[in-house]
Structure 1
Amino acid sequence: MREAAYENYFWQNEKIRLRPWREEDWECLYNTGFDTSLGRLAGYRVSFPPTASEAKEYSKEVENCKTKDGRTVFAMETLDGVHVGRIIFSLDEERHGTFGIGLRIAKEYQGKGYGISAMKILLQYGFMERRLNKCSATVLETNEGSIKLHKKLGYDQEGLLKESIYMNGSYHNEICFGLTKTMYLKSISNTCEKSEHREYC
């Protein structure tokens, strides 16, 4: 099979490429299940010990961009093909134009800009291709990395849910973030000249 040409590929930018989740990606899912601190930040809980069978079953259910419970799972790869994590596009309510994005990156690949780069692709997809109007997120107040990421992307802090999460023996606050299409367009206007997708400028 001829090698794919990515020069005009929507699902990548200068740092990251998104591709459909594959059944064989189960091992990445399985291995990240051993990082309890990551699980607490992403899922607000301590999960039962991961199993290969559970990871394989989930991977089979969401492979090839199948939508499960309104969620579409993508694998995140570097431009060299290194699998660094997964990102989920979650359609909350199409009638109201609301959606969310969740991601999980293996610890050794965190802090390299992969998360924000992948988020930019799905924000562009949600706002410019799906006609959606608002992307919302709730973040644990101790998740400094996620808070910083959302602020960099132009999200506004819309509220605080006090002591709404119980974890590790105590209650924690959740920060509510929101990004509307109008805010999104404003946030990218300053960097539009550098964008690979100038058709949206």
Structure 2
Amino acid sequence: MTSSSQYAAIGVHDSIWTGRRVRLRGLEPKEWQRFRDNDLNTTSQRLGDRVHPPRSNAGYEKWALEQSTRPSSDEMWLVIADINDDRPVGSICTNRLDPTSGVFWYGVGIFREEQRRGYATEAIRIVQRYMFGERRYTKCQAEVHGDNAPSLGLHQSLGFVMEGRLRKAVFHESGHQDLIIFGMTVDEFRNLR
């Protein structure tokens, strides 16, 4: 592991990918176990997406290797690492990119034991700063399951606007849930400062 003092010595704190609490970075292949262990939490899987079938250790190792060697593009999957000890605390991705209209979507997930520490807030802001400021996108969107109260509160506190509700659009153990669509324009983002 690299310590925060080592990062300071190499200027990482001057990076667009580094905040006060987190650093966004690529996955190291050896970190597959941390993500496997997180995937064992069914509640976390439901709140983020859906429950996925178990994967073998070899499957996780292959996935981690593929993630770690993925070519650079606007469609990213990044580790959210604690700035103090570089341990993974979650991940954030961009997807459904539409450069013509300037819209991108993102998803964020924080490991259960790491939640409520400001990691997601900072990671989202870093990705927005990059996509709006460096890649010229003009709108950021996210989907949140209607029963995910923490994520609904997070998006409201960040200044996202609830733009729509797809009724009974997702299903998991507790039944059908609404899917809430949040959006933020580049102008709204700039006005937050």
Alignment of structure 1 residues 19-98 onto 2, 5 Å: 19-43=25-49, 45-64=50-69, 66=71, 71-80=75-84, 81-98=86-103
- 1:11 paired with 2:1, answer no
Look up the equivalent residue of 1:12 and give its one-letter code: T
Q: Which of 109, 114, 131 is the equivalent residue of 1:104?
A: 109
Counterpart in 2 of 1:142? 147
Equivalent residues of 1:28, 1:85 under 8 A apart: no
Dislocated runs of 4+, deviation >3 Å = none
**What are structure 1's unaligned runs of at least 5 residues?**
189-201
Cα 1:180–1:46 shift into 2, 3 Å: same
Deviation at 1:7, TM superposition (A): 3.5
Preserved CA contact (<8 Å) 1:34 1:50: no
Q: Is the 8 A contact 1:62 1:73 kept in 2?
A: yes
Q: Which has the higher contact order (CA 8 A, sep 6+)?
A: 2
TM-score normalised by the chain length of structure 1: 0.85
Amino acid at match of 2:10: A
Partner SS for 2:181: strand
- Partner of residue 178, structure 2: 173
Aligned residues: 185
The 1:8–1:65 alpha-carbon spacing in structure 2 relative to 1, beyond 3 Å, is farther
Where 2:76 maps in the other structure, the secondary structure is strand
CA deviation vs aligned residue, 1:161-185 (integer Å, no higher than 9, x gap): 1111121152111111011111111
Match of 2:3 in 1: none
What is the CA-CA distance between 1:67 and the residue it aligns to? 5.2
Distance 2:149 2:12 in 1: 34
Aligned partner of 2:190 among 185, 190, 194: 185
Letter in 2 for 1:131: R
- Percent identity, aligned pairs only, is 25
Alpha-carbon distance between aligned partners in 1 of 2:140 and 2:76, rounded to the nearest angstrom: 15
Q: 1:164 to 1:67 in 2, by over 3 A?
A: farther
Q: Which amino acid aligns with 2:184?
A: L
Gapped regions of structure 2 (runs ≥ 5): 1-5
How far apart are the structure 2 equivalents of 1:185 and 1:64? 33
Return the letter of the residue paired with 2:60.
Answer: A
